[in-house]
């Protein structure tokens, strides 16, 4: 279902919905025109859900007063319990769906509410695609400053999955102990470290269940303790499972809290017993341990020891023909994957996403291409088959080693991989060696591109820039910079890499503007540097981020105080009054939330 069809369906339901600036239209600046009503915690109310936030929460309204309700879907009529009340909005817990939305379905997983991993599993899959398209378009309009009509024109329909379950080739299960003292595996409940025991996740491969049950049985029979986050005692912390969808090869890596024995090669009690059981599973290729003695949220340790089989598994990403509804093109790239390798978790959609990026690059075999944030070379090697020369840049040395090995294994000689930050390597090669670029591909982390990286792209001015994004908010921010620097967005498309969740990937093509007239422009580097430019995010955008993520409403005064604290110069000194009244200072809780927003927008 397209974005336009979604809007038509909403109107058919009798629901008035805002456009891309829905947040501002919902809440206004201070909701001055609405009737203020008193709401109390634990109050039971009935609301109709008229929209959903970017985090997948339902939005209900009573007399213009908005409520955010987890697990509520657009079109629901719901009974809610008020959980928190603020001046201009409130939060509620879904108590009962009185009239279900026409888009509500029965979730496949009984734990989907507690787990928090599948935020929108109860939403019909076609509507999930509509939700994600709308989310991306709203950010491009609201943050990027593009006209809604333009975005509707250049965006192609979202690329979904025929089977949006069991798509993850990687899963990391925390191991703990239940109230009876038995070992359990599962996932953390939302915003906690409480393990929900579940060995059969609907998003993981079917082999996960058998592997986990073998490990739990081994732990129980051999009296192997699970790691305790509070005391730091216990041995097994997590289990990492990876599977090659094309190869069928399976990897198991147990994350342990140190070595069990001083004997060489013995890392687990009754180690051979476990290896013998796991080794019988069809496709088992690699069994290893990762030693992590650190306290904290980092799952994998840096020390890996192979106990059985190979140190890596292999998988192949097939190239697909974008113009023929993503039919297989007949060739692909094979990758060696270690426990620490970054490799997209949805191989089916990865083939479509990377093939789309290859199509957007428009290569003829002569171009010099830069692939920034290249990981183990997945996109780079796709491009190398059709380019003259490819340079891949990645900050993780192990990833670059993997990329170089993958190039050799695939017989690719025109790809060079460099270790370092993209924002440092690219300018250096451009300035010192004069290496140019016909096409630049960026696939940055969630925080988006670094300011120096964008600055260098604008200096090099390649004919095309292909931007692969996992966060449409930072995508919109960076597109705004590139378009202000001489590029235009030609096309874009959402690729649903993470069905049942609120997350998605977007691929965008930018082309250099053509002009017969030229002027010389002096570029102020401070204005180009996203870590210094105050114009990077507006006050309204910062307010919205803080409200949506932290549930706090902050004033322009508070934002200005925090910005000044971090050396961001304001045109108006909001900390200085006229001597008539004491200026209120930002509370610590709101200061921390604003700082989080400034980091999100790369202003500090």
pLDDT at residue 37, as a whole number: 57
- DSSP class per residue in 139-155: HHHHTT---HHHHHHHE
Other Cβ atoms within 10 Å of 419 Cβ, number: 15
Q: Is residue 83 domain-shared with residue 145, that is, in the same domain? A: yes
Structure confidence at residue 31 as a pLDDT band (50, 70, 90): very low
pLDDT at residue 600, as a whole number: 84
Domain assignment present for 9:
yes
Using an 8 Å Cβ cutoff, are 306 and 338 in contact? Answer: no
Number of domains in the chain: 4
DSSP helix/strand/coil, 544: helix
- Containing domain of residue 476, as a range? 321-514+524-528
pLDDT at residue 530, as a whole number: 39
Lowest average pLDDT, out of 227-231, 244-248, 445-449, 591-595, goes to: 591-595
pLDDT in tens, 474-525: 999 999 999 999 999 999 999 999 999 999 999 999 999 976 555 554 545 4
From 288, 311, 334, the end of a domain falls on 311
From 277, 311, 345, the end of a domain falls on 311
What percent helix, strand, coil does the chain show, rounded to 5?
30, 25, 45
Measured CA to CA, the distance from residue 73 to residue 103 in angstroms comes to 8
pLDDT at residue 512, as a whole number: 95
Q: Is residue 174 domain-shared with residue 286, that is, in the same domain? A: yes
Residue 470 falls in the annotated catalytic set: yes
Q: Is residue 33 domain-shared with residue 154, that is, in the same domain? A: yes
Q: Phi-psi bin for 280: left (phi > 0), alpha (psi -120 to 50), beta? A: alpha
Using an 8 Å Cβ cutoff, are 449 and 442 in contact? Answer: yes
Please indicate whether residue 24 or residue 430 has the higher confidence score (pLDDT).
430
Q: For the chain, how long is the longest CA-to-CA vector?
A: 80
* Phi, psi (rounded to 5 degrees) for 502: -85, -5
pLDDT at residue 28, as a whole number: 45
Domain assignment present for 165:
no
Domain assignment present for 102:
yes
Structure tokens at 433: 């060696």
Q: Is residue 57 domain-shared with residue 130, that is, in the same domain? A: yes
pLDDT in tens, 365-386: 999 999 999 999 999 999 999 9
pLDDT in tens, 226-269: 999 999 999 999 999 999 999 999 999 999 999 888 888 899 99
Q: Is residue 225 domain-shared with residue 364, that is, in the same domain? A: no
Structure tokens at 318: 């097939």
From 101, 133, 159, the end of a domain falls on 159
Residue range 12-41: average pLDDT?
48
Domain assignment present for 215:
yes
Q: Is residue 130 domain-shared with residue 184, that is, in the same domain? A: no
Q: Is residue 579 domain-shared with residue 502, that is, in the same domain? A: no
- Tell me how far the alpha carbon of residue 92 is from its chain's centroid: 26
Angle 553-544-535 (CA atoms, 0-180°, nearest 5)?
Answer: 115
The CATH number of residue 104's host domain is: 2.40.50.140
Residue 116 pLDDT > 90: no
Domain assignment present for 316:
no
pLDDT at residue 1, as a whole number: 41
Q: Is residue 258 domain-shared with residue 335, that is, in the same domain? A: no
Which of 115, 130, 453, 470 is flagged as catalytic? Answer: 470
Q: Is residue 373 domain-shared with residue 490, that is, in the same domain? A: yes
Residue range 590-600: average pLDDT?
86
pLDDT at residue 190, as a whole number: 77
Domain assignment present for 546:
yes
Residue 299 pLDDT > 90: yes
Q: Is residue 52 domain-shared with residue 191, that is, in the same domain? A: no
Nearest to 504 by CA among 114, 29, 120, 61: 120
The CATH number of residue 496's host domain is: 3.40.50.150
Domain assignment present for 519:
no
Q: Is residue 133 domain-shared with residue 193, that is, in the same domain? A: no
Nearest to 250 by CA among 171, 150, 323: 171
pLDDT at residue 33, as a whole number: 41
pLDDT above 70 covers what percent of the chain?
A: 88
The secondary structure of residue 204, as a DSSP letter, is B
Q: Is residue 467 domain-shared with residue 402, that is, in the same domain? A: yes
């Amino acid at each position: 279902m397209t974005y336009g069809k979604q809007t038509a369906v909403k109107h058919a339901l009798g629901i008035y919905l805002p456009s891309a600036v829905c947040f501002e239209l919902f809440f206004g600046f201070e909701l001055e025109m609405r009737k203020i009503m008193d709401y109390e915690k634990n109050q039971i109310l009935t609301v109709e859900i008229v929209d959903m936030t970017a985090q997948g929460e339902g939005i209900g309204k009573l007399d213009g007063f908005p409520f955010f309700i987890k697990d509520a879907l657009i079109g629901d009529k719901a009974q809610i319990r008020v959980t928190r009340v603020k001046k201009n909005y409130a939060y509620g817990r879904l108590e009962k769906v009185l009239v279900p939305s026409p888009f509500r379905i029965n979730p496949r997983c009984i734990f989907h509410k507690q787990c928090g991993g599948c935020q929108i599993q109860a939403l019909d899959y076609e509507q999930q695609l509509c939700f994600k398209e709308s989310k991306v378009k709203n950010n491009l309009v609201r943050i990027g400053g593009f006209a809604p009509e333009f975005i509707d024109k250049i965006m192609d329909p979202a690329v979904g999955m025929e089977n949006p379950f069991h798509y993850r080739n990687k899963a990391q299960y925390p191991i703990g102990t239940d109230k009876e003292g038995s070992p359990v595996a599962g996932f953390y409940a939302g915003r906690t470290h409480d393990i929900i025991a579940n060995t059969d996740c609907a998003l993981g491969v079917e082999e996960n269940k058998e592997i986990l049950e073998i490990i739990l049985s081994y732990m129980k029979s051999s009296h192997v303790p699970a790691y305790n986050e509070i005391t730091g005692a216990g041995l097994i912390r997590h289990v990492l499972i990876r599977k090659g969808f094309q190869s069928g090869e399976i990897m198991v890596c147990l994350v342990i809290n140190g070595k069990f024995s001083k004997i060489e090669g013995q890392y687990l009690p009754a180690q051979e017993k476990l290896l013998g059981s796991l080794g019988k599973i069809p496709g088992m290729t690699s069994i290893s341990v990762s030693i992590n003695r650190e306290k904290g949220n980092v799952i994998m340790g840096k020390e890996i020891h192979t106990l059985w089989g190979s140190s890596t598994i292999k998988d192949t990403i097939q190239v697909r023909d974008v113009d023929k509804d993503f039919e297989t093109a007949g060739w692909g790239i094979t990758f060696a994957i270690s426990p620490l390798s970054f490799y997209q978790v949805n191989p089916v959609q990865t083939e479509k996403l990377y093939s789309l990026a290859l199509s957007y690059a428009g290569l003829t075999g002569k171009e010099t291409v830069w692939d920034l944030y290249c990981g183990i070379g997945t996109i780079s090697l796709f491009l190398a088959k059709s380019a003259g020369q490819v340079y891949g840049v990645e900050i993780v040395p192990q990833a670059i080693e993997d990329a170089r090995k993958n190039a050799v294994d695939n017989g690719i000689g025109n790809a060079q991989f460099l270790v370092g930050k993209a924002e440092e390597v690219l300018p250096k090669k451009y300035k010192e060696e004069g290496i140019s670029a016909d096409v630049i591909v960026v696939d940055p982390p969630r925080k988006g591109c670094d300011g120096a990286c964008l600055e260098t792209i604008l200096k090099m001015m390649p004919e095309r820039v292909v931007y692969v994004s996992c966060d449409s908010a930072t995508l919109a921010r960076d597109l705004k910079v590139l378009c202000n620097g001489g590029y235009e967005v030609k096309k874009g498309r959402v690729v649903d890499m993470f069905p049942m969740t609120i997350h998605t990937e977007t691929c965008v093509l930018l082309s250099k503007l053509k002009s017969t007239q030229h002027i010389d422009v002096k570029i102020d580097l401070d204005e180009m540097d996203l870590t210094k430019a105050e114009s990077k995010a507006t006050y309204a955008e910062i307010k919205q981020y803080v409200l949506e993520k932290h549930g706090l409403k902050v004033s322009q005064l508070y934002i200005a105080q925090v910005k000044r604290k971090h050396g961001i110069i304001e045109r108006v000194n909001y900390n200085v009054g006229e001597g008539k009244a004491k200026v209120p200072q930002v509370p610590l809780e709101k200061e921390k939330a604003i700082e989080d927003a400034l980091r999100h927008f790369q202003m500090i």
